[in-house]
A and B are shown apart, each in its own frame.
Chain A
Amino acid sequence: MSACLDIANLSAVLANGQRVLRSVSLTVQPGEVRALVGESGAGKTMIGKAVLGVLPSSVRIVEGDMRLEGEDLGKLQPKARRTLIGARTALIPQDPLTALNPSRRIGPQMTDRLVRILGWSGDKADKRVRQLLDEVQIRDPDRVLKSYPHELSGGMRQRVLIAAAFAAEPRLIVADEPTTALDVTVQKQILRLIAALQREHGTAILFVTHDLGVVAKISQKVSVLYAGKVVEEAETADLFAAPRHPYTRALMAATPRYTDPFASLKPVDETVLAGLAAEIAAADQAWRRPHG
């Protein structure tokens, strides 16, 4: 059985030739949650966008394969690729405030996709959407479906977006820091909801985050990303038990703990950063040689 998502040796460059993804390889098995963790600018969101085919026009993929359930995305015609991505993937976005169209009601925004892209009947789509709203514990679907986005709180909007992501039964969901824009109490509920729906529907998730606490709670496997390079990859339990890469260890030391909130946080160590810089430079050197 082929992996749900298989990225092999993916490299991407900016218009000025700077590499933003450095031979990234990672797989997400069906029904598995793979966390992609790293600091801001590490390229984790970029990987998500590459998979979903919405990279900004300034970023160009120069090397590597992406396979979605065995289909090589690079070999498909643009239109076929769009259709495949549209049918098999979904996004839970970072900012629920800008992810819903302010001038359209929630109902049509949610059902539209089921009707237009998947060809469902309006009734079927409506039933499905209500079922999903129930699963994300929205108790008054009638009001919510009739609302405009600004009439709902941030947490409610994120629930709506989670419901919308799961509604079409995608095989893979890219969750791009879905709790970052929410306040801490809501973060926990949202995380629990995503985990519950993930188990229920058996959907594979590529979970992009900078928060190791979230990684521990939700994922089975982790890829640690630094400057567009995967520096460590492991089962989540193993990673927390015995982080191998110095950067991972430094990252863990830099995570606040609720048990000891006043302990001073250690910024990532200079020597670790120097080691990383050398590692990246060596990788770039090795990469440039065959590519001129």
Chain B
Amino acid sequence: MDEARISRRGLSPRLWLAGGWLLLALLAAIFAPLVAPQDPLAQDLMLERLPPFWLDGAEPGYWLGTDSLGRDLLSRLIFGGRIAFIVAFAAAIAACLVGSVLGLIAGYFGGWADRIISRIVDIWMAFPPVLFAILLVAVLGTGLSSVILAIAIIDWTRFCRVIRAEAMGQSRMDYVENARIAGYGRIGIMLREVLPNVVPSIVALLSLEMGIAVIVEAILSFVNLSIATDDPTWGGIIAEGRLSIHQAWWVLVFPLITLILTVLSFSQFGEALKTRFDPVLR
């Protein structure tokens, strides 16, 4: 019992690996101008399609090689991380706020509030998310804030459904009834008795949603609907890499690996955090 408890309390490898990668990627993105070995926008046709460092013909200073315009891939990935993280945090938090609040209200108050909110969620989820995103960005215009807004507008239902279900379960608990007998108001009970019990799920979903936001941003930039400037984005690099896959596979492979690692880390990190936040599992 005690040993199990200690190992659970300690940092699990899952939390270490996922958290480590995210921290590394986040720090690199924040300090991109200091960390990146080259200017991500500098083109040099003399240096086009240089291979990564362990292959013949690699140039020092261009660790992961260059693309067809001679731009340093590693630097572009690092700068692309900035957009990815900004979108991940902003969009996930916005979706989380909207979805969790509506989910709590629907689940705890039930009745008409629940019926209205649940119908909206049903209608919302009938739209294919990626097409919906493309449509939204087309309407809102390209740009960072449109991308963030589009993801939040689409994905709040994810939070709403889960939190609604959990809040419904909570509202039938005896401690909620006890609080009603004691004379607490409905909002007070919702915040005091129900919310703390759904926080672990909110945290896990939030982290998962950040991963999803990274993917959606990559998809949007892949179809050139993300940000309008020349700033590198992971999706944009993947789109370019696709064109030169036969001459320079690394331009496609490295951003894909970066994307997969980041998304995987977000979801694993969320699961690990959930167990740590939950007083019963902890």
Contacts and interface: CB of A to CB of B under 8 A. Distances in A.
Nearest to B176: A101
Contacts of B278: 103
Given A148-B279, A150-B279, A150-B280, A100 B175 contact: yes
Interface string A49-60: 000111000000
A99 B174 contact: yes
B181 A102 contact: no
Nearest to B200: A103
A87 interface: yes
Nearest to A176: B174
B183 A87 contact: yes
A89 B178 CA distance: 11
B280 A102 contact: yes
A104 interface: yes
A117 B184 CA distance: 8
A98 B279 contact: no
A253 interface: no
A91 B196 CA distance: 23
Nearest to B180: A54
A86 B182 contact: yes
A113 interface: yes
Contact of A52 (B173, B181, B192, B279): B181
Per DSSP, chain B at the interface is helix
A101 B196 contact: yes
Given A103-B197, A103-B199, A89 B279 contact: no
B174 A95 contact: yes
A99 B175 contact: yes
A150 B5 CA distance: 14
A87 B184 CA distance: 11
Contacts of B177: 54, 91, 93
A247 to B, nearest CB: 30
A90 B180 CA distance: 11
B181 A117 contact: no
A99 B178 contact: yes
Interface in A80-134: 82-83, 85-87, 89-91, 93-95, 98-104, 109, 112-113, 116-117
A150 B196 CA distance: 15
Contacts of B192: 112
A101 B182 contact: no
Nearest to A161: B178
A91 B181 contact: yes
B195 to A, nearest CB: 9
B193 interface: yes
Nearest to B173: A98
A89 to B, nearest CB: 7
A98 B182 CA distance: 16
B183 A91 contact: no
A101 B197 contact: yes
A113 B184 CA distance: 9
Interface of B: 173-175, 177-178, 180-184, 192-193, 196-197, 199, 278-280
